Copies of this chain bind each other. A is one copy, B any other.
Amino acid sequence: MKVRQVGEFGLIDIIKDNTLVDPSSVVAGIGDDTAVLKHPSGKLLLATTDMMIENIHFIISGDNGRQIGYRVMAANVSDIASMGGRPTHAIISIGVHPDMEVSFVESVYEGMKACSRDYGVNIVGGDTVTSPDNLVLNVALLGLVDPDKYLPRSGARPGDLVMVTNVLGDSRAGLDIVLGRCSISQEGEKYLLDRHYYSNPRVEEMAAGTACGGITAADDISDGLGSEIHEIADASGVGAILKFEDLPVSDYTREVAEKTNTDLIEYCLFGGEDFEVVITVDPRKADALAEAVESATGTKLTVVGEIVDKSEGVKLLRNNSLHVLPKKGYSHFKK
């Protein structure tokens, strides 16, 4: 059987057993984006990793090394942020073809360093090896979180509201601009390219949110809200209903969806790499939470649905009718 036949999550299922020799030190192991480990300080140590490979996760085109570097670090920072934590230390592996220009590698590192400075990350080591062809980047990132602020995926309860930070779909719309699928105003294109290349992992938003209280589960939106809401529902043993008309979308992304003649749902539910955060929230705390996060960071929280009983499944309310929300989103190995 080939890897493409079992898919990313099937492969993880096959390899995830018998991985712990000392379970007492591990709060959460394989299965979440970020491992959660006991730490003698009383805090929890977070550890996450993301690998990005040329021609799968990015294309080298002209002078875009800085963007590539920023994005791989930001993807890791976002994983730490979604657990309620703060990133601290990164180690970076890079596989480079010997004929690559040194200046391009430097620009990739400049991007990783810029993101690290933006989010308080120390780059403390790594490995530098030859790649026979494609550029390979791997970041492993550590972070810390207070045990009472740690946000697993598994805490959502029926009655909780589903909220997201900022807007959804910009990164996918920015990709359409990169690929020349349509063009919009110069200002709009600049906005979307910036959102595609330089995401804003929600570290401060989650810090303000956990300080306020009321968040029951969280996940960062790396594969699309349509995928992440399934992850929360599966981990928590609940269902969810999202309301299409309430999903926050920028005017520029609406314009791109219209011009490319694509259902907006492909952007705001199934477009990857927005690196916004989806949270489930005690409904009595939702207003105070939104106010606390916006006043601390300027970032809006929007209610986009609610958590329901597991028996109701995961659904999308659109034009007053309920649809089953497919478990779709970016998944490796399969289309």
Q: Are the C-beta atoms of B132 and A20 separated by less than 8 Å?
A: no
From B52, B95, B103, give the contact of A129 (CB < 8 A). B52
Q: Are the C-beta atoms of B103 and A138 separated by less than 8 Å?
A: no
Query: Considering only CB atoms, which chain B residue lies closest to A89 in the complex?
Result: B37
**A contact residues, total (Cβ < 8 Å):** 87
Chain A residues numbered 118-148 whose CB sits less than 8 Å from any CB in chain B = 120-134, 136, 138, 140, 142
Q: Are the C-beta atoms of B40 and A39 separated by less than 8 Å?
A: yes
Q: Are the C-beta atoms of A136 and B2 separated by less than 8 Å?
A: no
From B34, B53, B123, give the contact of A136 (CB < 8 A). B53
Query: Considering only CB atoms, which chain B residue lies closest to A32 in the complex?
Result: B125
Which of A20, A93, A101 has the most CB atoms of chain B within a 10 A radius of its CB?
Answer: A93
A188 CB to closest chain B CB, in angstroms?
31
Chain A residues numbered 1-30 whose CB sits less than 8 Å from any CB in chain B = 1-6, 8, 11-12, 14-15, 18-23, 25-26, 28-30
Q: Which residues of B contact A33 (CB under 8 A)?
A: 125
Binary per-residue interface labels of chain A (93-112) against chain B in the complex, 1 for a CB within 8 Å, 0 otherwise: 11111111111011001000
Q: Is A57 an interface residue (CB 8 A)?
A: yes
**In the complex the two chains form, what is the Cα distance from A3 to B48 in whole Å?**
29
**In the complex the two chains form, what is the Cα distance from A93 to B137 in whole Å?**
10
Given contacts A39-B40, A123-B29, A128 and B12 within 8 Å (CB-CB): yes
Q: Is A116 an interface residue (CB 8 A)?
A: yes
Q: Which residues of B contact A96 (CB under 8 A)?
A: 3, 11, 333
Q: Which residues of B contact A182 (CB under 8 A)?
A: none
Q: Is A50 an interface residue (CB 8 A)?
A: yes
Q: Are the C-beta atoms of A55 and B2 separated by less than 8 Å?
A: no
Q: Is A328 an interface residue (CB 8 A)?
A: no
Q: Is the interface of A mostly helix, strand, loop or mixed?
A: mixed
Q: Are the C-beta atoms of B130 and A56 separated by less than 8 Å?
A: yes
A26 CB to closest chain B CB, in angstroms?
6
Q: Which residues of B contact A93 (CB under 8 A)?
A: 49-51, 138, 140
Q: Which residues of B contact A37 (CB under 8 A)?
A: 89, 124
Q: Which residues of B contact A126 (CB under 8 A)?
A: 30, 49
Q: Are the C-beta atoms of B2 and A101 separated by less than 8 Å?
A: yes
Q: Is A117 an interface residue (CB 8 A)?
A: yes
- Given contact pairs A4-B99, A53-B95, A57-B129, enumerate 18 new A-B contacts (beta carbons under 8 Å): A2-B101, A3-B98, A3-B102, A4-B98, A12-B128, A15-B105, A19-B113, A20-B124, A21-B120, A21-B121, A26-B124, A30-B125, A40-B43, A49-B138, A49-B140, A51-B127, A56-B131, A136-B136
A-B contact pairs, 25 of them (CB 8 A): A11-B96, A12-B128, A19-B116, A20-B122, A20-B124, A21-B120, A22-B88, A22-B120, A25-B89, A33-B125, A40-B40, A49-B91, A49-B93, A49-B140, A51-B95, A51-B136, A53-B130, A53-B132, A56-B131, A128-B332, A129-B332, A131-B134, A134-B134, A138-B138, A142-B142
